[in-house]
Structure 1
Amino acid sequence: MVNEAVVARIIEVLEQAGEQNNIDIVDVEVVGATKNPTVRVRIDHLDIEAQSISLDEVAAHTGWIGDLIDQIDPFPDAFTLEVSSPGLSRPLRRAKDFERFAGNTVALSTNAHEGRRRFTGELVGMEHEKVVLLCDGERYEFALDEINRCTIKPDFDFKSSSSKTKNK
């Protein structure tokens, strides 16, 4: 299993370069075997008003992302790099993500919080440095470091041809 410090270092380096390239590093995860892991990097436009990132744009940014990971050399052997858009089930990890996507339905997992670990509900946003979620008629607050994973749950309306993911 990959050390959290390795993932944090990759995110730190990519976020610094991402700003210069007008790219938001949405998420980084390392999966697979220790000898030849897969590094998954999800990117989007830094400008929140821009449309979703295209496949051509993802391909154009893959080079510098791979070069930066090679420079910090976080793995003793080879790794596989996968760069993609965040997709409809976009992960949320930073305070600005929770503010930006307030109003969306999210699935959140945490360490045991009031006797449960998984919550699905409407993201209110950030208040007093806590993520606020309305779930099952209750209001829950989570510190960022309590959250294991949080993703947007797209709402598919099959009567029209698009999903209802709000992007502010």
Structure 2
Amino acid sequence: MSTTKIKDIVEEMVQPYMEEHNFELVDVEYVKEGSNYFLRVFVDKDGGIDIDDCGMISEYLSEKLDNNDPIPTAYFLEVSSPGAERPLKKSEDVAKAVGKDVYITVYEALDGLKEFEGRLLSFENEELLIAAGKKQYRIPYDKVASARLAIVF
């Protein structure tokens, strides 16, 4: 079974629980590291997620996965916060990040660059406006390969 299919199945399983308990499903990863597979579920909520929240979600999802058994291989389930460098997976995530520092990669070079790090000034008309140093860059949303919050020192 493909990684994408597994992610879709897990998202479908956990989404009703997330909505019922006012959690946000940020991302799902199914990856192989060394000889082990990991199913990682990243969650958040207003005010932040804590260990008890992660435990409740993990118990719920473990039971659902055990009952439906959609993943053919053995794996480790991890439920956690997306962390300080939270991925911005959906356009809604990008919109919420306006005014924050972000790290963006693009599929093809824009202004000779494929990576941008700076303050997200706006996200309007499917275009990000980023201030990096003394320059500003306009990045079409459909050119974004990945986006996340950034920690600037």
Unaligned runs of 5+ in 1: 157-168
Q: 1:105: which partner in 2?
A: 101
- 8 Å contact kept, 1:35–1:76: no
2 CA distance for matches of 1:71 and 1:127?
43
Asked if 1:129 is matched to 2:126, the reply is yes
Q: 1:78: which partner in 2?
A: 74
- Residue 118 of structure 2 aligns with an amino acid whose one-letter code is G
- Residue 99 of structure 2 aligns with an amino acid whose one-letter code is G
Cα displacement (A) at 1:2: 4.9
- Residue 140 of structure 1 aligns with an amino acid whose one-letter code is R
- 8 Å contact kept, 1:109–1:117: yes
Cα displacement (A) at 1:80: 0.9
TM-score, normalised on structure 1?
Answer: 0.74
Asked if 1:92 is matched to 2:92, the reply is no
Asked if 1:150 is matched to 2:147, the reply is yes
The one-character-per-residue Cα deviations of 1:3-53 (angstroms, maximum 9, x if unpaired) are 3343244334433431112110111112215974101111111xxxx3211
Structure 1 residues 1-168: aligned runs within 5 Å? 2-32=2-32, 36-45=36-45, 50-70=46-66, 73-114=69-110, 115-136=112-133, 137-144=135-142, 146-155=143-152
Shift in CA distance, 60/110, structure 1 to aligned 2, threshold 3 Å? same
TM-score, normalised on structure 2?
Answer: 0.81
1 CA distance for matches of 2:121 and 2:12?
27
Shift in CA distance, 2/123, structure 1 to aligned 2, threshold 3 Å? farther
Shift in CA distance, 103/69, structure 1 to aligned 2, threshold 3 Å? farther
1 CA distance for matches of 2:13 and 2:151?
30
Aligned residue pairs: how many?
151
Unaligned runs of 5+ in 2: none
2 CA distance for matches of 1:80 and 1:51?
27
2 CA distance for matches of 1:14 and 1:36?
23
Q: Which has the higher strand share?
A: 2
